[in-house]
Chains A and B, each alone.
Chain A
């Protein structure tokens, strides 16, 4: 018994010790894993695939740090050790260099781009004419305005986002890992005086194998093949949720046209943009727009309760989200207007609370933050304005907007020339019906934004600066210049919307947006989403999505992303009302006489922490804020090759990683193999020989005089 228990004790001890073993294996001498990398993945639409692909066991190449465009000769033709893995600084990440590498892709194993901390003078990977095939302008509608014939909106665009590469492209941050890679290159790979570098050479291996190929119909068909119990999906449609809210609530269950209902829609985009999957922001591209709209919604709260306008005002935030690990962090609105096309589709088919005939007019807030002067511009569609009724409405709207700037430091001006609408969600509405609409933007013709849909469209692009001695909480409260100017824009928008909705003119001047709210939102969306205000307005179960960095705009396809949730809760906080309901009542409000879940949504939020306690003051917010699915109608209808709707999908993959190591020369490897084979054969021969003659060799017990055989 004693022996047995001591046996168990030893076994237990061994198992416990084994758990704490740390490895110092040969693998650590060979490979260095790169952790801070971001891949470029593959996206597909009805006809094409874009993005990058690696082979299934990774692509290995000898590292070459590109110094200039002329240096491309080495990896593409002169270098003696192809294939090469080209390391680029972001200033060399241009269209011409990438296209040259694409043409010689048998000598290029992959590309790694080093993204610096400071922005280059300009960089936009989107096309020069964003969404030119899915907007309203086509050969049938304003043919001379289509395809940017009159105005090129994004002249700095290089279109890299829409190219297909058959090698992997990764991005690296400018940190210690990248320094290590460059040092490895300098130590091993540099050619000395024109002679070839000596083995062993420094190499990098990138894994980013994508499962989907060709185009969306192909990959959706392959999704449906049911070979095994766990069918493998190869791609996912891009999609997220739109957020909308209104001044007067709508019954969620009564869909379709509403008699005598006239609605003014105020719209903005929620997307985030970057080339690689990174902490991307889209500060000027989208955040300026939706922050302004949120502030306007808040400014309208009080006056619409006191003196309700005739028409309802509906605030719509069209989500563009990257799905799961999207590298080209482009918004759905960028990918052919997924969010707005879905809402238009729902309205056309009676699946939304109102339909297109109920829409009186639309105001869209575009890029409004980067002023190059003191004016903002009101863009409208000249083709629909050729109709007199529409034209009158638009002119009335313009008048309302222009008169709202009284007392403020800027003016709203219509562009001088007749030009089309810039890329905007309004275009999708116009595709369905000629609705009077205006897009508010800070650019008269081409974008002021030099980093449209790139990683560099961040807080610095908006000149968002805080004094250096402030703590994070103080930064949250500090009203920046950017916040002040966006507040003025929000005030104008709110007043114009109120007037447009038929509100009481005497009340207009009481409408003022709150700069504190604007600056807090800018801080939360551009610097750190884990601040006290965002924590207070979010639900307890969602508090973990808030991080000490700008929100991450990537998530699984069917979940809603951080920006969607944030905007939903913020809109609820800014336009809704706090109630006295308890948490359980908040989840089942229909049991109470005056509450109805069909009219409102009830959200339980964390609330602030009162000064002398540690418990949060949670409460239930009642707001007419809803989420609607923003997946392209093409997937609902099963028309995967649709030309009318967006058909973008994103490929799936198993794992994505990168590592560097040294590679030895082929000669050494063959020598090793040769020696091994020689040793094996020699030992076989010798052993055979000795074993057959063993009785002769090891016979000291026999007579020394042995007969000769």
Chain B
């Protein structure tokens, strides 16, 4: 659409991920390494699942549109499953590598707790997923035209950015919850994460009915945020503590 839309959508889609990166990850090289490795794992899962989809489409009739759409859905479901599998694989890899990381870190003892690794791994998945969803669309938003010639909604760019934002944060929260579940051997957590991921995917199929797709996805994201907060050691008590701390801080300072 123009530079305004390009920057607007870029900020919407990558703003939170960018700020998370700057304030929590950039200072610690170990976290950066885990972030990038996490992104790579997501990328590999996407590559393998897209190979499957690609072979399926090439082996069938390209003119049959419903068949192609069904193949796309099948491919995406396969991709979701594969992403969760790779998340699990990354978890196992990080557990195994913990000793090695301890050796190269500057402090004594485990360099990163599992919780931190979970968060960083989730963010890695989220950033790479967001990049792949959004970069192509962003580059097309730079030109003078907007979507709509063939009946698509003109809010395409904004809603894509909002979906990408939600997906990035969702991947982060899922990472936290997933790793916690694996640590505590609560296998039902993995199943729930997988189901939620599939639900988000199927909601995105409702596009361009954006009210039906974006609002539920954001609702799920808020739910996941709360769950991730609690599973990473937060509690209501801490929040009240925070609040009273601030209050007393302001009292004492004023």
Contacts and interface: CB of A to CB of B under 8 A. Distances in A.
A660 B140 CA distance: 15
Given A696-B238, A708-B245, A662 B154 contact: yes
Nearest to A698: B233
B15 interface: yes
B93 to A, nearest CB: 20
Contacts of B244: 708
A676 interface: yes
Nearest to A704: B237
A680 B156 CA distance: 20
A669 interface: yes
A669 B6 CA distance: 9
Interface in B140-184: 140, 143-150, 152, 154, 156-158, 161, 165
A688 interface: yes
A202 B150 CA distance: 12
Nearest to B161: A676
B148 A662 contact: yes
A698 B238 contact: yes
A699 B234 CA distance: 6
Contact of B149 (A17, A29, A700): A29
A687 B16 CA distance: 8
A184 B54 CA distance: 35
B143 to A, nearest CB: 7
B7 interface: yes
Nearest to A57: B144
B5 interface: yes
A675 B165 CA distance: 13
Contact of B242 (A60, A664, A693): A693
Given A26-B137, A697-B242, A701-B233, A675 B12 contact: yes
B20 interface: yes
Given A30-B145, A663-B145, A680 B137 contact: no
A200 interface: yes
Nearest to A700: B233
Contact of A683 (B8, B15, B161, B241): B15
Contact of B5 (A17, A669, A679, A706): A669
Interface in B45-89: 51, 54-55, 58
B136 interface: yes
B246 to A, nearest CB: 9
A709 B245 contact: yes
A30 B143 CA distance: 9
Given A663-B145, A664-B146, A672-B4, A27 B140 contact: yes
B187 interface: no
Interface in A1-59: 14, 17, 20-21, 25-27, 29-32
A675 B23 contact: no
B146 A670 contact: no
Contact of A675 (B8, B115, B136, B239): B8
Interface string A371-397: 000000000000000000000000000
**How big is the B interface, by class?**
35 or more
A706 B143 CA distance: 56
Contact of A30 (B19, B136, B140): B140
A444 B115 CA distance: 99
A679 B165 contact: yes
Interface string B203-238: 000000000000000000000000001001111011
Contacts of B145: 30-31, 203, 205, 659, 661-663
Contacts of A691: 23-24
Contact of A32 (B5, B115, B149, B235): B149
Contacts of B24: 687, 691
Given A200-B146, A704-B237, A676 B7 contact: yes
A679 B146 contact: no
B1 interface: yes
B15 A680 contact: yes
B241 A696 contact: yes
Given A27-B140, A661-B145, A200 B154 contact: yes
Contacts of B148: 200, 662
B150 A677 contact: no
Contacts of A696: 238, 241-242, 245
A60 B144 CA distance: 8
A173 B181 CA distance: 66
Nearest to A30: B145
B154 A699 contact: no
B7 A709 contact: no
A476 B2 CA distance: 55
A673 interface: yes
A248 to B, nearest CB: 65
A670 B136 CA distance: 21
B54 A17 contact: yes
A199 B1 CA distance: 13
Interface of A: 14, 17, 20-21, 25-27, 29-32, 60, 184, 199-200, 202-203, 205, 659-664, 668-677, 679-680, 683-684, 686-688, 691, 693, 696-701, 704, 706, 708-709
24 contacts: A17-B51, A17-B58, A25-B136, A25-B140, A26-B156, A31-B145, A184-B149, A199-B154, A660-B149, A661-B146, A663-B145, A664-B146, A668-B154, A672-B12, A679-B15, A683-B19, A686-B19, A687-B16, A691-B23, A697-B234, A698-B234, A708-B245, A709-B245, A709-B249
Given A205-B144, A700-B235, 6 more contacts: A30-B145, A662-B146, A672-B157, A687-B19, A697-B234, A700-B234
Interface of B: 1-2, 4-5, 7-12, 15-16, 18-20, 22-24, 51, 54-55, 58, 115, 136-137, 140, 143-150, 152, 154, 156-158, 161, 165, 229, 232-235, 237-239, 241-242, 244-245, 248-249
